[in-house]
């Protein structure tokens, strides 16, 4: 199974020229990767002009998608529509979207999005993560709940199109990632939940870590094979640093 490095550009960059340059440079720098898939997720307005850059090692993803294929949903873009633009991956339930509240990001809506995307044969990147950690371990039950509700009624046939991105909310957008040991422990916990629900077939689900990953923290986090990739936010806007992360992931056994 290939490892996965996803760049979440969030609401950046400011212009299409910059977006094209960023995507072009990342594509060039990752073309020799053999064991690692590289995905960039630009704001939806750049998906159409960047569609032609997608290849079999460099993929274009969306940061959200609506579960209904078409209809009276002002302001939404459906996954069916994204398919037309070579979008092969979709981030779903990112904490920055969940925190907006509203009906579009409830656990139920997130589950529908995961099913819609994976059902079309694209990769659904389901984001989970606790806001705080408590000593009694309540956050573990919270994570279990997010996994269970996000993957409710998922067909076993589509499991290979599911990715779980574990992003502790408190570690996002800072200077330091969560320490590697805690990432590994949490990834094992998530892996066990997946095994409990789906059995051995769930081994095709990749687990990523996200939250202030940089080229300094990436090697320890990816070591040992506990996580099968990384979801990178602000560092994915810096070509050199992002490519270093990709190379670290590629170099890990």
Q: How far is the CB of 232 from ligand PGA (least distance, A)?
A: 5
232 binds ligand PGA, rule: CB under 6 A: yes
The answer to whether the CB of 99 falls within 8 A of the CB of 120 is no
- Cα 77 from chain centroid (whole Å): 18
Interface mask (CB under 6 A) for ligand PGA, residues 54-93, using x and -? Answer: ----------------------------------------
Among 7, 61, 211, 229, contact with ligand PGA (rule: CB under 6 A): 211
Residue with the closest Cβ to ligand PGA? 233
* 75's tokens: 């302001």
| Euclidean distance between CA atoms 87 and 54, whole angstroms | 8
Q: Is 167 a catalytic residue?
A: yes
Among 234, 244, 248, 249, contact with ligand PGA (rule: CB under 6 A): 234
* Closer residue to ligand PGA, CB minimum distance, 82 or 218: 218
Q: At what angle do helices 180-198 and 138-150 cross, to 10 degrees?
A: 50
| Euclidean distance between CA atoms 133 and 208, whole angstroms | 19
Q: Is 94 a catalytic residue?
A: yes
Window contacting ligand PGA (CB under 6 A); options: 50-58, 102-110, 149-157, 210-218: 210-218
**Count of residues interacting with ligand PGA (CB under 6 A):** 13
Window contacting ligand PGA (CB under 6 A); options: 57-65, 78-86, 142-150, 232-240: 232-240
Among 121, 173, 199, 225, contact with ligand PGA (rule: CB under 6 A): 173
212 binds ligand PGA, rule: CB under 6 A: yes
8 binds ligand PGA, rule: CB under 6 A: yes
* 106's tokens: 């409830």
Three-class SS of residue 157?
helix
Catalytic residue among 167, 235, 247, 248: 167
Return the ∠ at Cα 237 (arms to 235 and 239), rounded to 5°.
90
145 binds ligand PGA, rule: CB under 6 A: no
Among 23, 231, 246, 249, contact with ligand PGA (rule: CB under 6 A): 231
167 binds ligand PGA, rule: CB under 6 A: yes
Catalytic residue among 89, 94, 184, 234: 94
Q: Which of 227, 186, 184 is nearest to 205 (CA)?
A: 227
| Euclidean distance between CA atoms 125 and 206, whole angstroms | 9
| Euclidean distance between CA atoms 14 and 96, whole angstroms | 19
42 binds ligand PGA, rule: CB under 6 A: no
The answer to whether the CB of 112 falls within 8 A of the CB of 93 is no
Return the ∠ at Cα 92 (arms to 3 and 38), rounded to 5°.
25
| Euclidean distance between CA atoms 155 and 203, whole angstroms | 15
List residues near ligand PGA by CB under 6 A. 8, 167, 172-173, 210-213, 231-235
- The residues carrying an active-site annotation are 94, 167
């Amino acid at each position: 199974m290939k490892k996965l490095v996803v760049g979440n550009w969030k609401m950046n960059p400011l212009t299409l020229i910059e977006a094209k340059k960023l995507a072009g440079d990342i594509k060039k720098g990752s073309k020799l990767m053999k064991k690692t898939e590289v995905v960039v997720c630009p704001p939806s307005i750049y998906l159409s002009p960047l569609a032609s850059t997608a290849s079999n090692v460099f993929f274009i993803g969306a940061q959200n998608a609506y579960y209904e294929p078409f209809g009276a949903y002002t302001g939404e873009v459906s996954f069916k529509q994204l398919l037309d633009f070579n979008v092969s991956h979709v981030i779903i339930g990112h904490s920055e979207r969940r925190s907006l509240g509203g009906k579009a990001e409830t656990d139920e809506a997130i589950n529908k999005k995961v099913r819609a995307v994976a059902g079309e044969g694209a990769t659904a990147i389901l984001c989970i993560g606790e806001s705080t950690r408590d000593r009694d371990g309540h956050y573990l039950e919270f994570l279990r709940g997010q996994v269970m509700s996000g993957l409710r009624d998922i067909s076993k046939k589509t499991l290979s199109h599911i990715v779980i991105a574990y992003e502790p909310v408190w570690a996002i957008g800072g200077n330091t990632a969560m320490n590697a040991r805690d990432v590994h422990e949490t990834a094992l916990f998530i892996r066990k939940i997946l095994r409990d629900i789906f059995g051995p077939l769930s081994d095709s689900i990749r687990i990523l870590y996200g939250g202030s990953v940089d080229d300094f923290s990436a090697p320890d986090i990816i070591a040992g094979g506990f996580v099968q990739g990384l979801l990178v936010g602000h560092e994915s806007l810096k070509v050199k640093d992002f490519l270093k992360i990709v190379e670290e992931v590629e170099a890990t056994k």
